[in-house]
Chains A and B, each alone.
Chain A
Amino acid sequence: MSASADPAAAITVPALTRKDFTGEQEVRWCPGCGDFAILAAVQSVFAELGIPREKFVIVSGIGCSSRLPYYMSTYGLHGIHGRAVAIASGLAMSREDLSVWVVTGDGDALSIGGNHLIHALRRNVEIKILMFNNEIYGLTKGQASPTSERGKITKSTPHGSLDPSFNPISVALGTEATFVARTLAPDREALTEILRRAANHRGSAFVEIYQNCTIFNDGAFDSLTSPEGRLANQIRLEHGKPIRFGRNKEKGVVVTPDAAVEIVDVAEVGEENLLIHDEHAAKPNLAFSLSRLAGGPNQPTPLGIFWDVERPSYGEMMRAQIEAVRARGGPADLESLWVSGDTWTVE
């Protein structure tokens, strides 16, 4: 590093560790909950980002996942059901110096908060949304959620749910969100890498994290996390590489004539015909097709970064607009605004 006359350059952020991000309140998730692993990964990644602790804010809604801010040592705001994204949007737009994260669940983000989610993503507001997906309402003790599979038997759907499930990645890509990824809570390495990428993304990042609820939906992701399932069903998306998976990488993904994608035997089609994953594709079409590959985690399921593109964030655009309007003139202060219309003076 070269010497600098700028005193700010001399101020270095002290090295932080995961412990620096550990909150004081007792963690009250159920034993074995998938949320513990996510909390640990978030704490680790925050420590390595080079951002001072006081610049992090975690905003959450309601649900098991939304307790996370209390277990961190950063600024945190535990909001109300579904509204975390709305609250975080106002904060992020007005405070570009902060790193604003939203922790939410499948019910919070996709049901009661669905409207805020899609609009924040289309605007590219500078927030990182971690959606813990356990495919169930946990805190209200086990009702079907928007990501529960159709036919799910729960207390509120004793004869099976009638609702087709939402595909969160498809929803996010439908809004043209600029960073869309899916990962698994127990896969620490992949989770950490995606959190890191999300943190460094410009604008909105949407990360779906499959997370097991041991009490109300235990085993929902076994087909992806069991030793056998990992090999058979995890389709790891890697930028610039052909999409292959299976015990011996014997399966692959190709684009079909109707612009969808399908799973094939590599031996039958040849590796050169497999789809090469492009995270930065100009359009989200192929990423969307990939998101439709699996109707849920019980089939081979793509994991990783579906789409990652550059677009100005909403806050940047807001500030640029203010600067542009200022440059064009207009009242420079309130008193000149007030006298800019018809006025008259009484002596």
Chain B
Amino acid sequence: MSAPKLVEELDGVVIRIAGDSGDGMQVTGDRFTHSTAVFGNDLITLPDYPAEIRAPAGTPSGVSSFQIHFSDHPVRTPGDAPNVLVAMNPAALKVSLSELPRGATILVNSDAFDARGLERAGYPANPLTDGSLAAYRVYEIPMTSMTLEAVKEVDIAKKDAGRAKNMFALGLLSWMYHRPTESVTTWIRARFGKRPEIVQANLAALAAGYNFGETADLFASSYIVRPAHFSPGTYTTVTGNTAVAWGLMAAAERAGMALFLGSYPITPASEILHELAARKSLGVLTFQAEDEIAGIGSAVGASYGGMLGATSTSGPGLDLKTETIGLAIMLELPLVIVDVQRGGPSTGLPTKTEQSDLLQALYGRHGEAPLPVLAALSPSQSFDATIEACRIALAYRTPVILLSDAYLANGSEPWRIPRLADLPDLRRAGATQPNHDGQFWPYVRDPKTLVCEWAKPGTPALEHRIGGLEKADGSGAISYDPANHEKMVRLRAAKVAGIANDIPDAELFGDEDAEVLVLGWGSTFGAARAAAQRIGARGQKIAHVQLMYLNPLPRNLGGILARFPKILVPELNLGHLATLIRSTYLRDVTTYGKIQGKPFKASEIEARIMEMLP
């Protein structure tokens, strides 16, 4: 037996697990995330995988990775750089190495560093022996052969046995960071229950990895990251896509309506459809349509019928839905369009993140067609953002675009499970009586909010016709009258603009007398806030505002902007919000654009702010 090992305490760690896209890296990351969440750390994750289902094995383009940042204090980003890299093959090492700080720990599956593996990764020489990793703490572990050894008693093909090596890695990490493995074993049994030999192999590999850490002399110590402080409640982890799906269900429940999702599969939004399609026991209606247009078309039909109509998509799908969004604006029907942004244009980077649909969401329709636009701020905040999008859609009878992105969609973090009863009441009564001389006029408006009355089909005596042609104010009859058209255009625009009176003010974080205001929107929240906090912690003045409401903008935003000499707008595009701010407030700002398919690191924004500080 080796000597008892030391336990070192850390306040936070960033681990990246990387391997071939067939190596089960996402599953490994997910399981580590669950045990870490249950252990009580705060965390955020960043899955990153190729667009191809099976990209060429062993090559850099086929690398799939999963990064997790967990800590004993609040976590805002998946981490600027990994402290620990688990590289299951040479390609995984090659892809990640440039992001590793000197001194980082690298655990490699040394079995994969054979001539073939090195060649596929494009390594002319073995990095484990040529001295190129001298700046790192490298542990060479023959994970494949140790996994095979561990499962040799199990009656299983060698190929299947080798596939359990991800569980070996997970076992080793679990030992190294004192993660409980019970939830992993429960998951293995549930996941592979129908194939006992696979269950046995995975359990054996998991245990072998854990025991290897404990007994091998290789590791002098293990690490503990204490639980973070959370407000009381019951928690689970959610990805952004799950949070959106659950938000839609919760909103429908609180509105007293059935939820109807009409959708078409598209990366990275499909999981919203998947999650809702699996919720039939809760009465959710999902419809996998023949195309993006039918996805939103069916949602418009369901919304007209009194359901909470929603559609989920990504950029190329939003393009296709555009005409129908215009129809919903014209009809004044509630509808929630979730756009999980990805790298564009065209097919672009289907699995990578970007924030380049903002201007399309705001302006991408013919005619005068404004609609409310919201952007989710984090994976778990996607739940609240979705409920707010539904609230606005139902209260103002308008389509609403909710912007998420690949980073939020796939990333996960702890989420405090709310009580349904604590969520806003979204019920809104439909008309039951004629509102004009014994008839029902569909465009009679509340004088304050400009919201029209609505009567759903099936309601006796309120039969009426609506359509995409311009309609007479009040009656809704077809009207080509010039003055009426201008009036209706202005009414529809004023209704959306007036929502500003019904949304909270923007919150200013930091110092009101700072030289620089960082103004972000949506998913850059974590990186921008972390950057501001770091600068603030050093005693320098800095301010930060993160926008969830992009249209209408919060009423106090203009006043906030006026207070700061310099404004930095970090966004994952060439300057969409910057354009909006300039045109709305005649206020110049500095754009910090990043268009690499990856979220900002806090350090990147921090460095950019530092350049602007006096």
Contacts and interface: CB of A to CB of B under 8 A. Distances in A.
A112 B412 CA distance: 41
A281 B564 CA distance: 78
B299 A90 contact: yes
B350 interface: no
A3 interface: no
B297 interface: yes
Given A73-B463, A78-B468, A346-B231, A97 B458 contact: yes
Interface residues of B, number: 67
Contact of A342 (B183, B279, B477): B183
B303 to A, nearest CB: 8
A92 B469 CA distance: 23
Interface hub of A76, A87, A92, A330 (most chain B Cβ within 10 A): A87
Interface stretch (B44-52, B124-132, B245-253): B245-253
B307 interface: yes
Contacts of B307: 94
B294 interface: yes
B478 interface: yes
Contacts of A70: 465, 467, 477-478
A337 interface: yes
Given A89-B298, A89-B301, A93-B285, A98 B458 contact: yes
B267 to A, nearest CB: 21
A339 B250 contact: no
Given A57-B457, A115-B290, A346-B232, A330 B281 contact: yes
Contact of B233 (A24, A89, A346): A346
Contacts of B609: none
Nearest to B40: A344
Contacts of A345: 233-235
A95 B457 contact: yes
B282 A331 contact: yes
B466 interface: yes
B323 interface: yes
A284 interface: no
Contact of A93 (B298, B459, B464, B468): B298
Contact of B301 (A60, A90, A338): A90
Contact of B460 (A52, A73, A92): A52
A15 B162 CA distance: 75
Interface hub of B281, B304, B477 (most chain A Cβ within 10 A): B281
A76 to B, nearest CB: 4
Q: Size range of the interface on A?
A: 35 or more
A118 B324 CA distance: 20
A115 B320 CA distance: 14
Interface string A313-347: 00000100110011011111111011101111111
Contact of A77 (B260, B280, B466): B466
A77 B467 contact: yes
B417 A87 contact: no
Interface hub of A74, A80, A94, A328 (most chain B Cβ within 10 A): A94
Interface hub of B38, B253, B298, B302 (most chain A Cβ within 10 A): B298
A59 B465 CA distance: 10
B225 interface: no
A342 B285 contact: no
Contact of B280 (A91, A93, A321): A321
Contact of A94 (B231, B285, B468): B285
Interface in A126-176: none
B236 A343 contact: yes
Contacts of B467: 60, 69-70, 76-79
Interface in A232-273: none
A333 B282 contact: yes
Given A75-B457, A334-B246, A337-B282, A83 B297 contact: yes
Interface of B: 34, 37-38, 40, 183, 230-237, 246, 249-250, 253, 258, 260, 262, 279-283, 285, 287, 289-291, 293-294, 297-307, 309, 323-324, 326-327, 331, 417, 419-420, 457-469, 477-478
15 contacts: A54-B459, A57-B457, A62-B468, A69-B465, A75-B464, A80-B468, A83-B293, A83-B323, A91-B304, A116-B294, A331-B279, A337-B282, A342-B237, A345-B233, A346-B234
Given A80-B327, A344-B236, 9 more contacts: A62-B468, A70-B478, A87-B304, A91-B457, A94-B285, A322-B281, A335-B419, A342-B34, A344-B37
Identify the 6 closest CB pairs spanning chains A and B, nearest first.
Answer: A78-B467, A86-B297, A90-B301, A90-B298, A330-B281, A91-B301
